[in-house]
């Protein structure tokens, strides 16, 4: 295997570690309580929000109502380009869960759908120079086109092999993808969609959470985080921005009961640390005395969300039973190799 042309870099800050732990707990509880994956109407509403928001970031003028009309096969009065962008995006997002996020060919196929009829090189890596401008200022010059294929191969090898939490991995991928800017156009839309795909491989509910809406509302922060990370050649600021966006998206979908449940599960998750503890030890640390309350509101939701596990799963009622965090949520899995 050849050497990487570059390796993704970021700093594992306290903010990033805290956000990963918070999101992991919240999304697991939300997946159980929201019923989103079994609710076609809610999935449809959120999918439309995702598409409209991602397009709006790129100056598409269509409203949520217009994108919904296109999804229903109705006519819309708008510019032909805006309509085609939305129709392509609808088709691409409908295929989202059928693509392999680790496959470069699938990435190019997705781009071919997303940019069909909009650019000459739809579905192919760019053949020429590309620079990113804000107003009259060039803020980023992407690597030469001759290096794009190898850079993308490196990035996908890293995604395949890095022992890093999926939340961090998806954000790092998003930043590196935008840095390389592998396509003639549509890189922003593709980067956001592919991060969604990576996250949905971890927790499928991310396929239906409109993270793009938060990014659209904080568009200047989004571009600033990309720019600052480019200057530093380190994606820390962008990773923190995207994790905050994910966290806020999940918070927006948690109802009052869900918020309470999330807080209770998070307390249990926090007191466990890296230890394996009995139910009585956990109740003591949580200052709880009523065993049924502990089991119903803390232990069972954490087990159902697959955030913790039994040390003796074949003997759930054993007096020697202990509980520990699942390995996916230990601090060592937050680090890049």
Alpha-carbon distance of 224 to 239, in angstroms, equals 12
Domains 14-27+34-253 and 256-334 alike in fold: no
Per-residue pLDDT at 38 exceeds 80: no
Give me the DSSP letters along 128-158.
S--EEEETTEEEEEPPPHHHHHHHHHHHHHH
- At the top level of CATH, the class of 14-27+34-253 is mainly alpha
- Give CA angle at 202 (152, 306), nearest 5°: 155
Mean pLDDT of the 64-85 span: 93
Domain boundaries, the chain: 14-27+34-253, 256-334
Whole-number pLDDT of residue 135: 65
User: Residue 222 has what DSSP assignment?
Assistant: H
Closest CA to 99 of 109, 90, 86: 109
Closest CA to 269 of 35, 36, 28, 32: 28
Task: Look at the chain and count its residues.
Answer: 337
137-141 vs 131-134, strand pairing mode = antiparallel
Return mean pLDDT, the chain.
86
Q: Which two tokens stand for residue 116?
A: 């069909």
Alpha-carbon distance of 181 to 190, in angstroms, equals 10
Q: Provide the terminal-to-terminal Cα distance of the chain, rounded to the nearest Å.
A: 17
User: Residue 211 has what DSSP assignment?
Assistant: H
- Is there a contact between 113 and 128 (Cβ–Cβ < 8 Å)? no
Alpha-carbon distance of 123 to 107, in angstroms, equals 8
Of 296 and 97, the structure prediction assigns the larger pLDDT to 97
Mean pLDDT of the 11-30 span: 89
User: What percent of the chain clears pLDDT 90, i.e. is strictly above it?
Assistant: 51
Closest CA to 97 of 54, 49, 55, 47: 47
Q: Count the helices and strands in the chain (H runs, E runs).
A: 15, 4
Q: 256-334 has which CATH code?
A: 1.10.10
Instruction: Count Cβ neighbours within 10 Å for each residue of 185-224 and write b for 16 or more, e otherwise.
Output: bbbbbbbbbbbbbbbbbbbebbbbbbbbbbbbebeeebbe
Mean pLDDT of the 233-243 span: 95
- Is there a contact between 243 and 20 (Cβ–Cβ < 8 Å)? yes
Q: Is 324 exposed, middle or buried (0-12, 13-18, 19+ CB in 10 A)?
A: middle
How do residues 128-168 score in pLDDT, each as one tens digit?
A: 987 776 666 666 788 999 999 999 999 999 999 888 999 99
Whole-number pLDDT of residue 261: 53
Closest CA to 116 of 65, 67, 189, 171: 189
Of 161 and 252, the structure prediction assigns the larger pLDDT to 161
Helix 14-34, helix 236-253: angle, nearest 10: 30
Please state the φ and ψ torsions of residue 67, each to the nearest 5 degrees: -65, -40
- Is there a contact between 307 and 324 (Cβ–Cβ < 8 Å)? no
Alpha-carbon distance of 265 to 26, in angstroms, equals 9
Confidence of residue 262 (pLDDT cuts 50, 70, 90): low
- Give CA angle at 72 (43, 54), nearest 5°: 55
Per-residue pLDDT at 116 exceeds 90: yes
Alpha-carbon distance of 27 to 266, in angstroms, equals 11
């Amino acid at each position: 295997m050849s050497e990487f042309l570059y390796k993704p870099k970021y700093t594992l800050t306290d903010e990033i570690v805290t956000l990963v732990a918070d999101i992991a707990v919240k999304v697991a509880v939300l997946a159980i309580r929201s019923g989103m994956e079994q609710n076609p109407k809610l999935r449809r509403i959120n999918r439309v929000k995702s598409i409209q928001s991602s397009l709006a970031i790129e100056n598409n003028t269509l409203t949520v109502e217009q994108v919904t009309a296109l999804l229903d096969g109705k006519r819309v009065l708008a510019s032909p380009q805006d309509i085609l962008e939305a129709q392509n995006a609808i088709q691409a997002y409908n295929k989202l869960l059928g693509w392999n996020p680790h496959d470069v060919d699938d990435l190019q196929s997705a781009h071919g759908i997303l940019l069909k009829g909009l650019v000459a090189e739809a579905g192919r890596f760019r053949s020429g120079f590309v620079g990113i401008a804000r107003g009259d200022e060039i803020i980023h010059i992407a690597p030469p086109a001759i290096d794009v294929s190898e850079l993308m191969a490196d990035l996908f090898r890293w995604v395949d092999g890095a022992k890093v939490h999926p939340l961090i991995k998806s954000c790092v991928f998003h930043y590196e993808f935008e840095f390389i800017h592998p396509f003639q156009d549509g890189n922003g839309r593709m980067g956001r969609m592919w991060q969604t795909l990576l996250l949905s491989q971890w927790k499928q509910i991310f396929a239906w959470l409109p993270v793009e809406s938060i990014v659209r509302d904080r568009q200047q922060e989004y571009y600033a985080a990309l720019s600052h990370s480019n200057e530093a050649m380190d994606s820390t600021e962008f990773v923190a921005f995207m994790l905050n966006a994910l966290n806020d998206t999940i918070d927006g979908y948690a109802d009052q009961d869900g918020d309470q449940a999330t807080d209770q599960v998070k307390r249990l998750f926090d007191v466990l640390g890296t230890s394996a503890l009995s139910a009585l030890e956990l109740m003591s640390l949580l200052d709880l005395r009523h065993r049924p309350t502990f089991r119903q509101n803390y232990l069972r939701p954490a087990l159902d969300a697959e955030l913790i596990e039994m040390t003796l799963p074949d003997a759930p009622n054993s007096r020697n039973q202990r509980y520990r965090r699942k390995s996916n949520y230990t601090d060592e899995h937050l680090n890049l190799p």
